[in-house]
Amino acid sequence: MKTSASLYVHIPFCASFCDYCDFYSIALQNLTEDYFEIFISSLVKDINFQMEYFNIDEIPTAYVGGGTPSVLGKKIAFFFEALNKIPFFKPKEFTVEANPESLTEEFLSACRRGGVNRLSLGAQTFHEPSRLCVNRAGNALLLENSLTLAAKYFPGGNTGFDLSIDLMSGLPHQDEKVVIEDIKRLRAFSPSHISLYSLTVEENTALKEKINKKEIILPDSDKADSLWLLGRAFLESEGYRHYEVSNFAREGKECLHNLRYWQMKNWIGAGPSASGTLINEQTARAKRFTYPQDVDAYIKSPLITQARCEEIDRKTFLKDTLLMGFRRREGVENKLFKSRFGCSPEECIPKTLAKWKDRDIMSFLNSFLSDAFSELDLI
């Protein structure tokens, strides 16, 4: 039986590290050209193997993240060339992440030639004190120049080449004026999609350590919430639809790749720390495969048989489907949910949905899920 699955690729290299980041990556310094080429060859070997191993005959979306894919510069062309030779690799949406400090014309040109039709650029903020406080590389001028360059290759509109931009709220030294100014400065670049993330302090990060040492002070939770809500309101006034917890898009420009995650549809992951989830629709169970956070080990054996496999039982998968599905404004996809679990969400968690009928679930997702999971655990 053939399978449709999206593809996520993890590029684990960064020129510098933001204090808040807990994604797996290693320092770019001292890595040779040969190392990059060997790594890319390992990625291609991995993807080809998974396509055959899981009998995949369709890749509807692809997403290359990291780390910082743009640090590969023009070398990424080798990866795109090999990727496009893989049978059935014809994604409707092909996204690549980039950071402003490593964005070059050569990289963007390689993306366009390689079939990339969506660029995701990590801006975070133009505000210099906030950037410096969390060790965000570059500065506002560099960001402005990078956005100008990105918009040249991914102008949005009806061109079919879209630009998505990440912003962050709740940073040190942010206030209402800063949040609004960040959004206003994006107008000139016509992004079709904007992600507005509220800063989260993860364990074992430099940011957490600085907070513990009282070297920096973040806005309190009420202030952070008000800044994010202000950003949401302004984005909506600018014509961006709030379609998922942290994501806003022009009409028809939602991220198709992430929608597949939120609908809990198949995806495969390639690269160190990447994970993939393959779903058995008949049994409402799934298998999740996760690679170790070790690029050298991955290069030595880039096969999915080396990844950790987690068996996801029916109840866990049901909870995952609710957790991901209600991140969206529309909630879970009822038809898919019923075909998987033999009941509609209304039949599955009737008391929770009745309680939350006239409330904004996306804005209070954790509270909603707590109610939903408690109801499920009584079944």
198: helix, strand or coil: strand
Cβ-contact 371, 355 below 8 angstroms: yes
Phi, psi of 26 (to 5 degrees): -125, 160
Indicate the angle between helix axes 76-83 and 33-53, nearest 10 degrees. 20
CATH topology of domain 3-259: pyruvate-formate lyase- activating enzyme (3.80.30)
pLDDT along the chain (379 residues), means of 10: 92 90 85 88 95 95 96 93 93 97 96 98 96 90 96 94 97 96 95 96 91 90 95 97 97 97 96 96 96 94 90 96 96 94 94 93 94 87
User: pTM for the full model?
Assistant: 0.95
Q: What is the pLDDT of residue 379?
A: 65
For the chain, the domains span: 3-259
CA 257 to chain CA centroid, Å, is 9
Q: Where are the alpha helices (DSSP H) in 154-205?
A: 176-185
Nearest to 125 by CA among 73, 28, 199, 218: 199
Backbone angles phi, psi at 308, to 5 degrees: -75, 130
